[in-house]
Amino acid sequence: MRIRPLLAIMALLACCGTARAQETFTPRPEWERHFTDVGVTGTIVVVDERDGARWVWNEARAAERFCPASTFKVPHALMALDAGVVRDEFQVFAWDGDEHTIAGWNRDQNLRSSMRHSVVWLYQDFARAIGVERERAYLEKLDYGNRTVGDDVATFWLDSSLRISALEQVAFLRRLYRNELPFAVEHQRLVKDVMINEAGRDWILRAKTGWQVRLERHLGWWVGWVETPQGAVFFALNIDMPQGGADASKRESIARTVLRELQALPLK
């Protein structure tokens, strides 16, 4: 007699899971102008937990997987902390003296500076220390994108072996926001802390850029969320960058415009 209630509960859970899998996003065709006005193509996904709204421009592209580039520093920092490669936010990692074109890379680093300056050489060191097998296990554990390490443990998130969609980026960030990833809560809180870009009296912006430069097709990301008293507003944007560095600033400018229109960020 106890079987029927159990089966009913299992059926309810299955239905809930299906509902989450079929979560729909409302198209925002008017957002296209933010891309065309600056001469780029791309997509943006927004999940607004203040009212439950889910918005997207260019839904087909939002589901397409691309190289995560430096947005992977967010899960990668969690992996490095979990693996013991990084002890805490104060540990200093020595610069080896090799000159880089980005000035912020040419100095000793800690976790906070490495995220702020997006220091590729340090995360390559982390990847070598973690190793191929543990990197692969972490990707499986996180169900991150296509979960592929590829041939080179020091470049797999840069050479397009690893790929993730804008929709998947937002899903990952929402789990991080709630400390629901399979890592120690203190590590998740630390990584969220080093992701802070700016803050106001009643809002905090946590975000990470990415720029795929190792392939002929340059692609840029900006992903993150804005915390407000009414709830968090998550976003993931990617654009093609045919002019390389000349298009880099367009990542943030487009997303900030959308977030201001949604009153998630204050007006200028």
**pLDDT tens digits for the chain (268 residues)?**
343 443 333 343 343 333 344 579 999 999 999 999 999 999 999 999 999 999 999 999 999 999 999 999 999 999 999 999 999 999 999 999 999 999 999 999 999 999 999 999 999 999 999 999 999 999 999 999 999 999 999 999 999 999 999 999 999 999 999 999 999 999 999 999 999 999 999 999 999 999 998 777 899 999 999 999 999 999 999 999 999 999 999 999 999 999 999 999 998 7
pLDDT digits (tens, 9 = 90+) for 124-166: 999 999 999 999 999 999 999 999 999 999 999 999 999 999 9
Structure confidence at residue 32 (pLDDT): 98
Q: Rounded CA gap, 40 and 251, in Å?
A: 10
pLDDT 10s digits, 210-236: 999 877 789 999 999 999 999 999 999
pLDDT computed for residue 146 by the predictor: 98
pLDDT of amino acid 216: 76
Reading the block at residue 85, the tokens are 């490669």
H or E segment and range at residue 83: helix 73-83
Amino acid at 24: T
Predicted pLDDT at 22: 53
Q: Tell me what pLDDT residue 264 has.
A: 97
Residues whose CB is less than 8 angstroms from the CB of residue 177 and which lie 6 or more positions away in sequence, other chains included: 192, 225, 232, 234
Write out the catalytic residue numbers.
Answer: 70
Element containing residue 232 per DSSP (H, E)? strand 231-240
Query: What pLDDT shows up at residue 21?
Result: 44
Q: Which residue has tokens 């960020």?
A: 265
Q: Does domain 26-261 have CATH number 3.40.710.10?
A: yes
| SS3 of 142-176 | HCCCCCCCCCCCCCCCCCCCCCECHHHHHHHHHHH
Question: What are the extents of the domains in the chain?
Answer: 26-261
